[in-house]
Amino acid sequence: MALVNTKKMFEMAYKNGYAIGAFNVNNMEITQGIIEAVAQEKAPLILQVSRGAREYASNSWLKAMIDVAVRENPDIPIAIHLDHGDTFKTCKEFITDGFTSVMIDASSKPYEDNIALTKEVVDYAHKHNVVVEAELGQLGGIEEDIVGVGHDDISKHLCDPEQVQDFVKRTNVDSLAVAIGTSHGAYKFKKEPKLAFDILEEIGKRLPGFPLVMHGSSSVLKEFKDLINKYGGKMPDAMGVPEEAITRASKMGVCKVNIDTDLRMALTAKIRQIFAEKPNEFDPRKYLGPARDAIREMVKHKLHVLGCAGKAKECS
């Protein structure tokens, strides 16, 4: 199966009450671990490339790895998505490079400027059968060079349900990332968050059938946090989005859930463990291989949290 866009995925996810995992890729081991997981669980997949990933590995290398994954897994529908594109030029470059989905994030701009830039990207992307995600409201935390609002201000920057219909109508965007209290990074919250499910419910009433997206949705899994800290790390205050909240959101119109931090933590935890237990080890294959395995098992777990395990066929 060739690369696909997310239209069919989101249609089926919305209809049947689950979400598609959107996993950020940065190198070969991360990509392989994700692909092995979805192949084993027969799940649809969105692979995301951020600006930081592009600077680290370059688009050509990342796209080549994804092309191999697509070729070797013909029964798995795979979309390739630009995460947090911030300009029309960037989105256009990724569309030219063969991406099937792009995000234009103008959420930090005034409302009318957000609409104008989003519409410009949508008009261009749709001519090339590429779908577009936009964002309303602002998340907290930090992800690479994406700086959100402070922890104490998250509640002041949630998505306004009264804007969603106007925004979607005027931009013709295909999906919408809505700020409902999630946050980027590993240190998302000072205490367990209470997501704004009332806002999510109200948006669903105003935009029935329209796919929503959750950013900042890694759970900062305890097993990896504990392993990192056991072997020299210092992440005692790391806290993420509870998995039960993610499952609940996936039944309320959230069709795409972004996961990045959990991938990094799984990789780092396993490498730290091997370095501590085998200090003489210097063969990268002996620590990157197990790290890849850790990513695979974590992603398999997430696919069941999201409810998309076993859904590859219906999304094809």
> Cα dihedral angle (158, 19, 5, 28), rounded to 10 degrees?
100
Residue 91: count of CB within 10 angstroms of its CB: 26
Determine phi and psi for 291, rounding to 5 degrees: -65, -40
Determine phi and psi for 22, rounding to 5 degrees: -115, 105
Alpha helices in the chain (DSSP H): 7-16, 28-41, 51-57, 59-72, 88-96, 111-126, 161-171, 197-206, 222-230, 243-250, 261-277, 284-306, 312-315
Instruction: Give 287's contacts (C-beta < 8 A, 6+ positions apart).
Output: 270, 271, 274, 275, 281
Catalytically active residues are: 83
Q: Are 144 and 83 in contact (CB under 8 A)?
A: no
Q: How far apart are CA 76 and CA 10, in angstroms?
A: 15
